[in-house]
Chains A and B, each alone.
Chain A
Amino acid sequence: GAGVSQSPSNKVTEKGKDVELRCDPISGHTALYWYRQSLGQGLEFLIYFQGNSAPDKSGLPSDRFSAERTGGSVSTLTIQRTQQEDSAVYLCASSLARGGKISSTGELFFGEGSRLTVL
């Protein structure tokens, strides 16, 4: 598809289980971002990729959270030993960048999000 694709759209899991959330950015977009949004609230930055490297992972809330990106395309956000406070919508966004830097007009394009519910 032409847009940012995220899967699963909904995930219900039990406390203590691991989950993986996937983001497939727009083709050619080298910058990729993960955000977390609690119900009806603002966006919490998690991590940012430029290509396969993550120059800014300052928003990851704990060492239970990790993310990787391979081939400069698909990214996976992994949450280990999930807790109830991890319940949220996880949003992925991508942006066009040239020469390793964000395009000067590079707005973010968002996916529909993955809604995680931890019971």
Chain B
Amino acid sequence: AQSVAQPEDQVNVAEGNPLTVKCTYSVSGNPYLFWYVQYPNRGLQFLLKYITGDNLVKGSYGFEAEFNKSQTSFHLKKPSALVSDSALYFCAVRPDNYGQNFVFGPGTRLSVLP
């Protein structure tokens, strides 16, 4: 069975500092990995994805994520956090065998403090 873990319910970071939001996964076959962000009272917005190729993926708003196959992780990072980055972040995985559902992690609330 597929699963996604986001071990931290809440991450606090000071503005200007680097941020990391952790994600680990379990999936049969090769994973397709995604990060989404949700601002208050909004739907989820796509940030970035890993399909194949370079393990470091760059996405929207200066975010990036690193795929680590041996650790089955796909942590989201940003070198310098902004207050406007404060939101709920979801990691998701989809197996590479077609027709399967997306599995979302429980979400991590990021608070960037001024």
Contact = CB atoms under 8 A, between A and B. Distances in A.
Interface of A: 4, 33, 35, 40-43, 45, 48, 50, 55-56, 91, 93, 101-102, 104-105, 107-113
A43 B90 contact: yes
- By secondary structure, the A interface counts as strand
Given A42-B105, A48-B101, A56-B101, A104 B43 contact: no
Given A45-B101, A104-B32, A109-B46, 19 more contacts: A35-B104, A41-B107, A42-B104, A42-B105, A42-B107, A43-B90, A43-B104, A45-B103, A45-B104, A56-B101, A91-B44, A102-B100, A104-B96, A104-B98, A105-B32, A107-B46, A108-B34, A112-B43, A113-B42
> Interface centre among A43, A48, A50, by most B CB within 10 Å?
A43
Contacts of A41: 106-107
A-B pairs, 8 with minimum CB distance:
A101-B98, A110-B43, A42-B106, A110-B44, A43-B104, A112-B43, A42-B107, A107-B46
A105 B48 CA distance: 11
Given A102-B98, A105-B49, A105-B51, A40 B43 contact: no
